Chains A and B, each alone.
Chain A
Amino acid sequence: MPDWEGVRLHVVSGKGGTGKTTVAAALAMALAADGKRTLLIEVEERQGIAELFGISALPYEERRVASVGPGALGRSGTRGSTGKAGREGEVFALAIDIEQALLEYLEMFYKLGRAGKALRKVGFIDFATTIAPGLRDVLLTGKACEAVRRKGPDGKRHYDAVVMDAPPTGRISRFLNINTEVAGLARFGPIFTQSQAVMRVIRSPETAVHLVTLLEEMPVQETVDGVAELRSAGLPVGGVFVNMVRPPLLDEAAILASDGDHREELGLALADAGVGGRPRGGAGRSVPAATRKLVEPLLAQGREHAARVLLEREQRSDVQALKLPTYELPLLSGGVDLGGLYRLAAALKEEGAA
């Protein structure tokens, strides 16, 4: 059974630039396997999803951005799969536009009519979202929860899961808890009711807040601090997604090479493989000069690699000490395109994240 069975709102946070948008997209795809329908939500008005999927800017509208055919992510119809297996999964995306979301929100409580347009014209919306930065967050979390709770005519949930490409670790607790503040301000009325409903979803076991990190000091530190902060804010901590993990090219060997002296043997091995020239002589074979020149630079690279591997090992053990479900995603050379997203999604499925 996948690790997040029962979770319907996946909030993906982490230090800036660690791959929140990429991981959120891959997770939405992984969760869509086996004929499911998922929604990927972008909250920062940057069109990062459109860029990632290589499509033109998304309007404020749920659009289908990818389909996940049976078997597209490796073995499909895993244990416990429902009759849905074998059907095509669908990923929808929504880039929330704050102005429109605010008008929509106001419409929920007041009959605005044409006044909505006028409000926009005088810069009211900019103004309102600026003097009350929290208002933005109310709108964003409200929209996500609406998508989570939405039901189709058959009474079933419209989306099997909603994945949010959320603000970075530094702002995530406040972002998610904004509705508590609002509920505190407005103690009754429609806004109060609405924010209560949103908080019920966010604090429930239906929500998981995941953190993306790299195996580097600062992102890991931010993750450790982030987990503590989420916990003390009473928010449901999900898993840790370690992104851009480099393939272990020669971990153990490199570490050995960094202290042992292997120059001569190494030179011979290289020469045997035809690097820089063939070894001369039979019994007392010697390393050709051109090969000899390569030995030191190659060892130096090995030592650098070893140093990094050790550093990564430290960071990895800090991540493990959190005792949270952890997933590793490989570094894709040359960046992430649509094909790369399928690969990452397959890795997530393989590791049980979906």
Chain B
Amino acid sequence: MTAPTRKQQADPLAGVALDVDALIDNPSTAIVVCCGSGGVGKTTTAAALGLRAAERGRKVVVLTIDPARRLAQSMGLTELDNTPRVVKSVSGPGELQAMMLDMKRTFDEVVLAHADPERARQIMENPFYQSLSSGFAGTQEYMAMEKLGQLQATGTWDLIVVDTPPSRSALDFLDAPNRLGSFLDGKLIRVLMAPAKVGGRSAMKFLNVGMNMFTGVLGKILGANVLQDVSTFVAAMDSMFGGFRERADRTYQLLQAPGTAFLVVAAPERDALREAAYFVDRLETDRMPLAGLVLNRVHRTGAPQLTAERALAAAETLEQGDADAETDGGAGGSATAQESQGSQGSQASEGSQASEVLAAGLLRLHADRVRTITHERRMRDRFVSIYPDVPLVEVPALAGDVHDLEGLREIGERLAAG
């Protein structure tokens, strides 16, 4: 990737600018992963980046997870068929496809691809498989990785943009697949399977709790059939392909590969930035390539010269003037009383009174905005002073939701402009 440039050597809080266009234009960028804590704008960023990359000439697929309904519709994602669809009205030389992840179907596909039809049916009918594939903590993360692996293996696209599930913590995305993988391949589950496999209990000897106790208690609290389901499920899966762990490891390696870039998305708020910091640390520990931080929904103002204090003071002056005017027009100043005065002069003053009310409102709004900006800047600066080398781009908060291609294009432009 291109070397980011420091904006201003003099200002340690200026940070390093993230050059998004350089990132998506670079033909060696093959995978961009958008991660971050819940609700910060991962899906929006992923879709906007995909669109921008396509309009700049790349052949892109965006893997979204639980997009808002209107956004999905705007990308032509009306059917949940778990395959990429061409997004229409993309202008420019490239091509954009998009898909929504269906975790249950992805799991089913894995099973179908690796087992003969009879065995696949057995697995899919297994109640434990059903609860695992449709709601197990970590399944969504695991299947997002699985799908990424599948998309990459087809070699159809030269850029894959991946959204991540709405987890509490961005770290879940890295941890959950491993947790699930090691659970399914883990020691305990093997012990549990041992009786089914060898018909004996010798394997249990190393444990200081008797197998009877173990399965007995489990059986009682879960129902004996649950145990049976789990062990037949694991046996079936195990003979089917090289194990979950191995699969999880493989995608993990894909994430460490040089063509992969992580974008951490955060809102300029304490909690989101704390999560972002954890994630940045973690990527470094795991030697995964961090492209930078997208600070999303940052507030701005076109009138930075007007401070919050001045604006509020002026608003008060205006409102004070109004109150005085009202008392002048008779106690209480009711509408009918004012109308009965009905001269032209009072009409003019009504007009100017309306604009005073408007001015006061706009000034209060401005004061509020400036305070928000000050707060957000403090949050940002704290992050930058701890992570001065993490490239960063700010995306302004748009007035409404982002739910059409036009909105995505605008976010894309802001991402590139910084």
Q: Main secondary structure on chain A at its contact with chain B?
A: helix
Chain A residue at minimum C-beta to C-beta distance from B352? A265
Q: Which of B209, B356, B366 contacts A301 (CB 8 A)?
A: B366
Q: Is B136 a contact of A119 with CB atoms below 8 Å? A: no
**Contact assessment for A16 and B136 in the assembled complex, using a CB-CB cutoff below 8 Å:** no
Cβ B361 vs Cβ A302 within 8 A = yes
Report whether B209 and A124 are in contact in the complex, using a CB–CB cutoff of 8 Å: yes
User: Complex: how many Å from CA A300 to CA B366?
Assistant: 10
Q: Are B361 and A304 closer than 8 Å at their CB atoms?
A: no
Residue of B nearest to A247 (CB): B368
Q: Which of chain A's residues 49-78 have a Cβ closer than 8 Å to chain B?
A: none
Given A106-B221, A274-B314, the answer on whether A115 and B209 have CB atoms closer than 8 Å is: yes
Q: Is the CB of B314 within 8 A of A273?
A: yes
Q: Determine the distance from Cα of A5 to Cα of B38 in the docked complex, in whole angstroms.
A: 35
Q: How many angstroms between the C-alpha atoms of A123 and B305 in the bound complex?
A: 61
Secondary structure dominating the interface of B: helix
Question: CB of B323 within 8 A of chain A?
Answer: no
A-B contact count (CB 8 A): 173
> Which residues of chain A in 205-223 are interfacial with respect to chain B, using CB atoms and an 8 Å cutoff?
216-218, 221
A130 to chain B, nearest CB (A): 6
Q: Is the CB of A270 within 8 A of B221?
A: no
Q: Is A7 at the interface (CB under 8 A from chain B)? A: no
- Residues of the B chain whose Cβ atoms lie less than 8 Å from the Cβ of A268: 352, 355
Inter-chain contact A118/B361, CB cutoff 8 Å = no
Known contacts A217-B68, A269-B355, A275-B311: A301-B302 contact under CB 8 Å: yes
Q: Do B314 and A249 have beta carbons less than 8 Å apart?
A: no
Q: By the criterion of a CB under 8 Å from any partner CB, how many residues of chain A are at the interface?
A: 66
Chain B: interface residue count, which band?
35 or more
Which residues of chain A are within 8 angstroms of B188 by Cβ–Cβ distance?
A: 122-124, 127
Compute how far the CA of A46 lies from the CA of B172 in the bound complex, rounded to whole angstroms.
Answer: 14
Nearest CB of chain B from residue A297's CB, rounded to whole Å: 3
B365 engages A302 (CB within 8 Å): yes
Tell whether B128 is near chain A: CB-to-CB under 8 Å: yes
Cβ-based interface call for B377 (8 A): no
Check A128–B301 contact: CB distance below 8 A.
Answer: no
A298 near B363 with CB under 8 A, answer yes
**Contact of B355 with A301 in the complex, beta carbons under 8 Å:** no
Besides A122-B209, A273-B315, A297-B302, 16 new A-B residue pairs in contact (Cβ under 8 A), listed by A number: A106-B217, A118-B208, A119-B209, A122-B208, A185-B225, A254-B362, A256-B358, A266-B358, A268-B355, A269-B318, A269-B352, A270-B359, A273-B314, A296-B302, A300-B302, A301-B301
* Residues in chain A within 8 A of chain B (CB atoms): 16-17, 46, 105-106, 109-110, 115, 118-119, 121-124, 127-128, 130-135, 171, 174, 185-186, 191, 216-218, 221, 249-250, 253-254, 256-257, 262, 265-266, 268-270, 272-276, 293-294, 296-305, 307-308, 311, 333-335
